[in-house]
A and B are shown apart, each in its own frame.
Chain A
Amino acid sequence: KQEVTQIPAALSVPEGENLVLNCSFTDSAIYNLQWFRQDPGKGLTSLLLIQSSQREQTSGRLNASLDKSSGRSTLYIAASQPGDSATYLCAVSSNDYKLSFGAGTTVTVRA
């Protein structure tokens, strides 16, 4: 069974600092990996999707890397802003159409 872990569970940084969020998974036989953002009491918004054959994906200030052999992904958010405050979830897809989610990292960016 795929296990996904996100460390740390919570993170607080001053505005302008770069954010580094970690995700690890136990089974390297994945189809893809996705990073989502969740605001309090809301649904999830997809940020980046990395196919298993890719090493990284970038969108604006966001960059996600994938090292499938070691079972790790990192989400980098450059020059953080208070609007980046949210919970960030990592999810891994197996070939049978299921996503396995981590518990998330809750980020607070202080103005």
Chain B
Amino acid sequence: DGGITQSPKYLFRKEGQNVTLSCEQNLNHDAMYWYRQDPGQGLRLIYYSQIVNDFQKGDIAEGYSVSREKKESFPLTVTSAQKNPTAFYLCASSVQGAETQYFGPGTRLLVL
């Protein structure tokens, strides 16, 4: 089956800890994205990548980092510099940047 997978479904972070969220797609899409969703707010773009080995900051990149070493993978690291990381994180991909984006099932990050 083609699609986007995210793991884990739930993730717990301790103070001062870096954690990495996984996003994998087998749709052969060039573009991939990371969004953060908070209650009562729209999705906000953290980082996006249009091609392997290249990525750009979105609207709320501070405290996050990404890599794009393979076309199918776009992991997101939430660093200790992100002081309010509790949120629902969604990964997406698309054929080209402005076309329909396909979303993964999400990862909920909680702080212990």
Contact = CB atoms under 8 A, between A and B. Distances in A.
Interface of B: 4, 6, 31, 33, 35, 40-45, 48, 50, 58, 88, 90, 92, 97-106, 108
Contact of A103 (B35, B41, B101): B41
A21 interface: no
Contacts of A44: 43, 90, 92, 101, 103
Contacts of B41: 103
A42 B106 contact: yes
A97 B55 CA distance: 12
B104 A98 contact: no
- Which of B41, B44, B101 has most A Cβ within 10 Å? B101
Contacts of A91: 42-43
A43 B105 CA distance: 4
A34 B90 contact: no
B48 A98 contact: yes
Contacts of B44: 101
B82 to A, nearest CB: 20
A91 B90 CA distance: 15
Contacts of A34: 100-101
A83 to B, nearest CB: 19
A99 B90 contact: no
A84 to B, nearest CB: 19
A46 interface: yes
B101 A46 contact: yes
Contacts of B33: 99
A96 B50 CA distance: 11
A25 to B, nearest CB: 11
Contacts of B92: 44
26 contacts: A9-B40, A31-B98, A34-B101, A36-B103, A41-B88, A41-B106, A43-B6, A43-B90, A43-B105, A43-B106, A44-B101, A45-B103, A46-B101, A49-B99, A49-B100, A89-B42, A94-B98, A96-B97, A97-B98, A98-B45, A98-B48, A99-B43, A100-B42, A101-B42, A101-B43, A103-B40
A102 B42 contact: yes
